[in-house]
Structures are given as structure tokens and as C-alpha cells.
């Protein structure tokens, strides 16, 4: 069964350096720059210079106003001076950083209990970019975060020692009971090893903890610590247990590192797909329909259509047969597959249809097996490759939903390969090649690859595990990709390859997965007839390249910061009349663009400066400005979002230039 990693928003913690800006590789730095002079004013200046239109006073005023609003906020993040790189350590690369973050969690808890004596403490670990601590207390405000940070600064400034103490379980229980800390008693009960370790901050505060910590609070740089946010969190992640107040903080070794991290965070916020999805009208999640259910708006749907067409084209070229299968099936199918035994908590409740139980599908695998089983197969037919953009439904707690990254209904780019043992390596290599071909279309060329091997509990004979794992390893070696071995990290039904892509900010996102499966072929008793006319069991390979269309679309939005390349942009060109007198000609231009497969739109009803400003705000790649002289000469004056002013050209040249750029996936 294909179990993709949870669609969590969290990315890999392995980035080592953060540039103050990283431009997507498909854009040259010069083309992506935004000069201090507003782009709509430059477009008007070009048009006016060629056509005798004044660009003084009122026009300049409108341009100046536009450079003071949200566009300027976006533009200042796009300046392409050579970025300064600041190396950011990770918890894995720097033990001192890990100690700082862990100690900050304790210092924060001490500060909270000094300011709010009734607050009960729970747990406070270090995390990827800092730390957090959960408290049972009244809801906090941002103003109170500032008070907590000031108290933390005082504790750090006192340079108090961190003292480790070992005590018996009974002694720990006595001390915790005396403090009336019920959550700590529960934590104590979960600790299986003796003796119990306690860390003291001076002689004023202590916590159950195994460490490690800095020697003294003064080792923490106060200017490299910041409290970031407050969130609700259920105790032990159980919605039936109390809701706690979680305070998140970030901590670094130096103020310079903190500034680099905050810049990275600000850029990530600017690119947040939830914000851009709303601003650019790409998608929405409607409360009236329910959480985690995605509505693709016309512009987002066009991007999805382009992605799906590309996906289908590449798969057909590489020998896959496309499938469409139902969204529901009898519950018994999921009993056979094992999903009801191993995956029930992620599945929706069953529905009764004419006294039979049906189930919304959480995965596509059983359906593809049923298609395989529709007839007998000979070894001559292998490999058999089937693929589907199949929508699945998985139950997620409302608190875990996050934009397009964590949803309840999503479409997997799912495929299954049925092959012989001696075909595994070649098929895996073929999947790796397909994966690279598809991801490169979107500008993703840096990958982190992991090969996960047999876990302690697994199905299948040792011999086939060895063969399958060797085949995956050989395919990766043959491909020339570097990879890490995750010993024992495979699924119980077979070894797997996982691939993460790196976006424009250097973040890594779980994307592609390739999994060999010895389990489902046995559960469904699928067979083929070999050269000796004997029934044998085929090997089954699950694979997904993009993961899910929803999540991949979210990654694309953030990777491009909403500035989709020309070939992928939902609207590729705006046609802008100087006055209503040119509307008929503009309609002819727009119709000609559409007739040539170009996604063009006619914009009207505003003065030209406002039309240009709106196009910039909507991140439209091309603008074709039309005035009286363009109508007279059968031309358009063109401005590219990435390439600047392109001059005046005949309509046919404009069309052919766009078509050529789309075909080569280049910018203009």
C-alpha cells in the first residue's frame, strides 16, 4: 500500500546557509529585478515615447502612489544585488546550538512561572529552528510575550548555573507532588529508566530533564533569542485532553544568525501559498463545505490543467496506461488490502448502501490491482505500468490542517508497476528518469534522496528483500544520484526510495516516493503464468512523483512566489487599451492570442496606469498596450514582467514569440 509521508508543512532541517534572496533558477537576476522606478511608469514612458502620450504629472503621481503600497513591500524582497550568505547551523551540526535551545525552553518556563505562578508546566523540547514549551494556563497575548522575554533576559543576565541532579523515583515523585505539577507526575510515570535526572537553574527552578544544557544561562546570547508565537496544543496530542498554551521561540548562537533567520522567515511569509492563493485568486478552503477540502478557482484550475496535461504526456510517452477508478468501494476491499487493520484511524466512517458497507478510498492501490486481476497475464506482458491522477480522502484532525499542505481530500499522481524480479532495477531506473524529467520542468534540480531498508517487522522472504533492496541501490548508483541509507526505515511490505525537492529558499519538501511491495500481491493473490506455464507472483512497485497535486501546487506557489513562469501562468498576457476607442482592436488581439492557445485577457474600465498596476499586482507575465498608433499599424507595445520593455511589434510576431517561449518553457 502506498503510504506517502504525512503532508506536513514542516520542511527538512538540513539547510546550512540562507541567502538573503534566492531567485528561481529559470529567471536570470537581471530579468527578475525591480528598479526603483515603478514598472507601470516605465511601461507608460516607453509607450509615450513611441506614441506621443504625455507621462508627466498625473501619471507620475499614480505611479508614485503605487510604489508605496503592497507592491513595494513585495518588490523590496526581490532586489537582486548579490545576496550575503549567512551560514546557519542546525541542531545536528552544532551541539552548542542544541544546548542553547534546550536551555532557552527551561529559561522560558522559569520566566512564565515567575510571572504567572498558577501556570502548570508540561514539556519543553528543542525543535528545528528553536524551542517551545506547553503550559496549562489562561490564554496569553502578544503583549504578555514581551513581558516573558524581558524576564528571560533577566534570568540570562544573572548567569545562573545549570546543575544536573540524579534522584530516586520516589524522591522525584515527592518533589513534583509538593509543587502540585500533575503533568510532571504523568511524565515521571512514562520514564522507564532510573535514576531520574533533574536540571536546576540556580537554586530557584528545576525540571525533569535528561539534558543536555549549557553550563550557565550567561552562555545564551539574549540578542539571539526571540519569542515568536502562541498556539493551542492538546496535551499528548489528544483532543480529549486539556488544551494547553504553547509558546514558540527561536534561538541562535549569534545576533547575525537570528537576523538571517528572521529574513528567511519574512521571505517565507511573503511567499506563503495561503496568502498568495487568496491575493491571486487561485484556490480557497470554504468553511461552509468543511475543513481541508480544496476549491480550485479558475486561475488555479488552469495551472492544474497544465500540470495534468504535462504529467499525462510524459507518462504515455514512457509506456504507462492511464486509468480512472471510483472514489468509493465496498468495505471488504479495504479489509483484504489491510487498510482497515493498519490505517483505519486515517479513514472516514463507512456508509451503508443497500445493506452493504462502502468506504471512501484513502488510497488507489487496491483499485489498480483489481484492474490487473480482470484477466490472466503471461510473463511476456511484463512490465505492466498503470497510472492515475486519483483523488483520495483521509481523515485529519482540524488542528493539523494547513492550507494545501495538509488537507482531507487530495489527488495523488499515483502509478503502479507490475514486473518480474529481474526487471526491478530497470523499472526503478525508469521511474528515477521520469521523476527527474518531470521535476526539471518546474525548475527543481536539487534533491535529497533516501533509500530505506528492511525494518524489524516485515513481510516477504529474506531473499526477495535482498534482491529488491539491491535493485533499488543499483538503480540509484546507475543514475548517479547521491543518497543516504535509512537502515530499517522501509515499510513493512518492502524497501523504498524517498526524494525531497529543494525550493527557491533552500527548503526541502517531501515529494516523490518509490516503494516495492511484497504484501498486496499476496493479499490479493495476483499471479501471472511463467515460461513453464506455472503460476507465479509478480513484483508490485508503487510510485508517486509529485506526491499530491494540492501539495505540489502549494510548493510551486511558494517556490515562484506567485510569479509563475510564462508557460505555467494562469493568464499569460493582458491586452490594455489606452482608451475605449481601441477596444475593438484589443478584442481582435485577445481573440488571436486565444486562437493560438495563449491565455490572454482583455482588461478595460480603468485608466491605463491603473490597468498596468493591476497587471503587475496580479503578476501577469506580459502586457500588450494598445493606442491609436498600434491600431493604425497593426501592432502592440509589449512589456514583460521579467524582461522589461520589449518595444512595439506586429501582432503575429507577438504571438510567435509567446508560442516559442511557451514551447521551450522560457521567459520573455
Rounded (5°) CA angle 334-336-342: 60
Residue 16's pLDDT is 37
Q: Do 437 and 512 have their domain in common?
A: yes
Residue 462's pLDDT is 85
- H/E element, 102: helix 95-115
Q: Do 303 and 185 have their domain in common?
A: no
Number of compact structural domains in the chain: 3
Q: What is the mean pLDDT of residues 289-309?
A: 97
Q: Do 215 and 350 have their domain in common?
A: no
Q: What is the mean pLDDT of residues 179-206?
A: 94
Q: How far is CA 403 from the centre of its chain?
A: 10
| Short-list 21, 75, 33, CA closest to 263 | 21
Residue 71's pLDDT is 37
**Cell (9 digits) for 607:** 485608466
Residue 601: which CATH number?
3.40.50.800
Q: What is the mean pLDDT of residues 446-450?
A: 95
Residue 344 within any structural domain of the chain: yes
Q: Do 294 and 211 have their domain in common?
A: no
What's the CA gap between 373 and 430, in Å, rounded?
24
Residue 87's pLDDT is 74
**Mean pLDDT, rounded, of the chain:** 87
Q: Is the pLDDT of residue 18 over 80?
A: no
Please tell me the least confidently modeled range out of 65-69, 239-243, 295-299: 65-69
Question: 86 versus 335: which is more confidently predicted?
Answer: 335
Confidence of residue 400 (pLDDT cuts 50, 70, 90): confident
Q: Is the pLDDT of residue 248 over 90?
A: yes
**Cell (9 digits) for 429:** 531506473
Confidence of residue 443 (pLDDT cuts 50, 70, 90): very high
Q: Is the pLDDT of residue 23 over 50?
A: no
Question: 71 versus 226: which is more confidently predicted?
Answer: 226
Please tell me the least confidently modeled range out of 60-64, 180-184, 440-444: 60-64
Q: Which residues contact 184 (CB under 8 A, 6 or more apart)?
A: 121, 122, 176, 207, 208
Q: For residue range 578-632, list pLDDT tens digits in order.
A: 999 999 999 999 999 999 999 999 999 999 999 999 999 999 999 999 999 999 9
Residue 84's pLDDT is 56
Residue 55 within any structural domain of the chain: no
Residue 32 within any structural domain of the chain: no
Q: Do 110 and 141 have their domain in common?
A: yes
Q: For residue range 543-584, list pLDDT tens digits in order.
A: 999 999 999 999 999 999 999 999 999 999 999 999 999 999
| Short-list 152, 161, 159, 158, CA closest to 224 | 152
**Cell (9 digits) for 218:** 550567561
Please tell me the least confidently modeled range out of 70-79, 115-124, 269-278: 70-79
Q: For residue range 633-646, list pLDDT tens digits in order.
A: 999 999 999 888 99
Maximum CA pair distance of the chain? 94
Residue 10 within any structural domain of the chain: no
Q: Do 236 and 320 have their domain in common?
A: no
Q: What is the DSSP string of 318-339?
A: TTPEE----SEEEHHHHHHHTH
Residue 221: which CATH number?
3.30.980.10
CB neighbour class for 420 (10 Å; exposed up to 12, middle 13-18, buried from 19): middle
**Cell (9 digits) for 667:** 521567459
Last residue of a domain, one of 505, 532, 560: 560
Q: Do 550 and 593 have their domain in common?
A: no
Rounded (5°) CA angle 649-655-661: 105
Q: What is the mean pLDDT of residues 466-494?
A: 91
Which residues on neighbouring strands pair with residue 500, listed in sequence order?
448, 510
Residue 567 within any structural domain of the chain: no
Residue 643's pLDDT is 86
Q: For residue range 300-347, list pLDDT tens digits in order.
A: 999 999 999 999 999 999 999 999 999 999 999 999 988 888 788 889
| Short-list 616, 630, 619, CA closest to 583 | 630
Q: Do 212 and 346 have their domain in common?
A: no
Residue 164 within any structural domain of the chain: yes
Q: Do 295 and 251 have their domain in common?
A: no
Q: Do 304 and 425 have their domain in common?
A: yes
Confidence of residue 460 (pLDDT cuts 50, 70, 90): confident
Note down the domain range covering 251.
95-267
CB atoms inside a 10 Å sphere around CB 141: 9
Q: Are 386 and 414 in contact (CB under 8 A)?
A: no
Residue 85's pLDDT is 61
What does the buried/exposed string (b/e) look like for 428-464 if buried means 16 or more CB atoms within 10 Å of the residue's CB? bbbbbebbbebbebbbbeebbbbbbbbeeebbbeeeb
Q: Is the pLDDT of residue 13 over 60?
A: no
Residue 491's pLDDT is 83
Q: Do 395 and 445 have their domain in common?
A: yes
pLDDT exceeding 70 applies to what percent of the chain?
A: 87
Q: Do 177 and 326 have their domain in common?
A: no
Q: Is the pLDDT of residue 83 over 70?
A: no
Catalytic (active-site) positions: 365, 394, 412, 414, 416, 496, 542
Q: For residue range 644-666, list pLDDT tens digits in order.
A: 899 999 999 999 999 999 999 99
What's the CA gap between 466 and 257, in Å, rounded?
45
Amino acid at each position: 500500500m502506498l503510504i506517502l509521508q504525512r503532508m506536513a508543512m514542516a520542511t527538512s532541517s538540513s539547510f546550512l546557509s540562507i541567502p538573503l534572496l534566492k531567485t528561481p533558477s529559470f529567471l536570470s537576476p537581471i530579468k527578475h529585478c525591480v528598479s526603483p522606478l515603478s514598472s507601470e511608469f516605465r511601461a507608460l514612458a516607453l509607450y509615450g515615447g513611441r506614441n506621443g502620450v504625455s507621462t508627466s504629472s498625473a501619471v507620475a503621481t499614480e505611479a508614485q502612489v503605487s510604489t508605496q503600497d503592497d507592491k513595494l513591500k513585495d518588490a523590496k524582497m526581490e532586489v537582486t544585488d548579490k545576496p550575503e550568505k549567512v551560514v546557519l547551523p542546525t541542531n545536528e551540526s552544532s551541539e552548542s546550538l542544541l544546548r542553547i535551545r534546550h536551555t532557552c525552553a527551561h529559561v522560558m518556563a522559569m520566566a512564565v512561572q515567575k510571572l504567572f505562578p498558577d501556570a502548570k508546566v508540561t514539556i519543553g523540547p528543542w525543535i528545528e529552528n528553536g524551542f517551545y514549551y506547553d503550559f496549562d494556563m489562561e490564554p496569553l497575548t502578544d503583549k504578555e510575550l514581551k513581558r516573558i522575554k524581558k524576564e528571560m533576559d533577566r534570568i540570562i543576565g544573572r548567569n545562573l548555573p545549570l546543575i544536573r541532579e540524579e534522584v530516586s523515583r520516589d524522591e522525584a515523585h515527592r518533589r513534583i507532588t509538593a509543587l502540585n505539577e500533575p503533568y510532571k507526575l504523568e511524565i515521571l510515570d512514562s520514564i522507564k529508566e532510573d535514576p531520574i535526572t533533574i536540571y536546576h537553574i540556580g537554586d530557584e527552578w528545576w525540571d525533569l530533564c535528561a539534558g543536555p544544557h549549557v553550563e550557565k544561562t550567561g552562555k545564551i546570547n539574549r540578542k539571539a533569542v526571540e519569542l515568536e508565537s502562541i498556539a493551542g496544543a492538546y496535551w499528548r496530542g489528544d483532543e480529549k485532553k486539556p488544551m494547553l498554551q504553547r509558546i514558540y521561540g527561536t534561538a541562535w548562537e549569534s545576533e547575525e544568525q537570528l537576523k538571517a533567520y528572521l529574513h528567511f522567515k519574512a521571505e517565507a511569509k511573503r511567499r506563503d501559498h495561503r496568502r498568495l492563493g487568496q491575493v491571486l485568486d487561485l484556490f480557497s478552503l470554504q468553511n461552509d463545505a468543511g475543513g481541508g477540502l480544496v476549491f480550485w478557482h479558475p486561475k488555479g484550475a488552469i495551472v492544474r490543467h497544465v500540470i495534468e496535461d504535462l504529467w499525462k504526456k510524459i507518462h504515455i510517452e514512457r509506456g504507462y496506461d492511464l486509468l480512472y477508478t471510483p472514489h468509493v468501494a465496498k468495505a471488504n476491499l479495504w479489509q483484504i488490502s489491510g487498510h482497515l487493520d493498519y490505517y483505519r484511524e486515517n479513514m472516514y466512517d463507512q456508509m451503508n448502501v443497500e445493506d452493504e458497507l462502502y468506504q471512501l478510498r484513502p488510497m488507489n492501490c487496491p483499485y489498480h490491482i483489481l484492474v490487473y486481476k480482470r484477466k490472466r497475464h503471461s510473463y511476456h506482458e511484463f512490465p505492466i505500468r498503470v497510472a492515475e491522477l486519483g483523488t483520495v480522502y483521509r481523515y485529519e484532525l482540524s488542528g493539523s490542517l494547513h492550507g494545501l499542505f495538509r488537507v482531507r481530500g487530495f489527488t495523488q499522481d499515483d502509478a503502479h508497476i507490475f514486473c518480474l524480479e529481474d526487471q526491478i532495477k530497470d523499472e526503478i531506473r525508469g521511474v528515477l528518469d521520469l521523476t527527474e524529467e518531470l521535476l526539471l520542468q518546474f525548475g527543481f534540480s536539487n534533491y535529497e534522496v533516501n533509500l530505506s531498508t528492511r525494518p524489524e517487522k516485515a513481510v516477504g522472504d529474506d531473499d526477495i528483500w535482498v534482491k529488491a533492496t539491491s535493485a533499488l541501490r543499483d538503480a540509484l548508483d546507475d543514475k548517479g544520484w547521491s543518497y543516504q541509507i535509512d537502515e530499517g526505515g522501509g515499510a513493512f511490505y518492502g524497501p523504498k526510495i524517498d526524494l525531497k525537492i529543494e525550493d527557491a529558499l533552500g527548503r526541502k519538501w517531501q515529494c516523490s516516493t518509490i516503494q516495492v511491495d511484497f504484501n498486496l500481491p499476496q493479499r490479493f493473490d495476483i499471479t501471472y503464468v511463467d515460461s513453464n506455464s506455472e503460476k507465479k507472483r509478480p513484483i508490485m512497485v508503487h510510485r508517486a512523483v509529485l506526491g499530491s497535486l494540492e501539495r505540489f501546487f502549494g510548493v510551486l506557489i511558494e517556490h515562484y512566489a506567485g510569479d509563475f513562469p510564462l508557460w505555467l501562468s494562469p493568464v499569460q498576457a493582458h491586452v490594455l487599451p489606452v482608451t475605449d476607442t481601441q477596444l475593438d482592436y484589443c478584442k481582435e488581439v485577445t481573440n488571436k492570442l486565444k486562437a493560438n492557445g495563449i491565455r490572454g485577457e482583455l482588461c478595460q474600465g480603468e485608466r491605463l496606469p491603473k490597468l498596468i498596476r493591476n497587471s503587475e499586482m496580479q503578476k501577469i507575465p506580459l502586457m500588450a498596450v494598445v493606442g491609436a498608433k498600434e491600431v493604425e499599424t497593426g501592432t502592440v507595445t509589449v512589456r514583460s514582467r521579467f524582461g522589461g520593455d520589449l518595444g512595439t511589434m506586429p501582432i503575429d510576431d507577438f504571438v510567435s514569440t509567446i508560442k516559442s517561449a511557451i514551447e521551450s518553457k522560457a521567459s520573455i
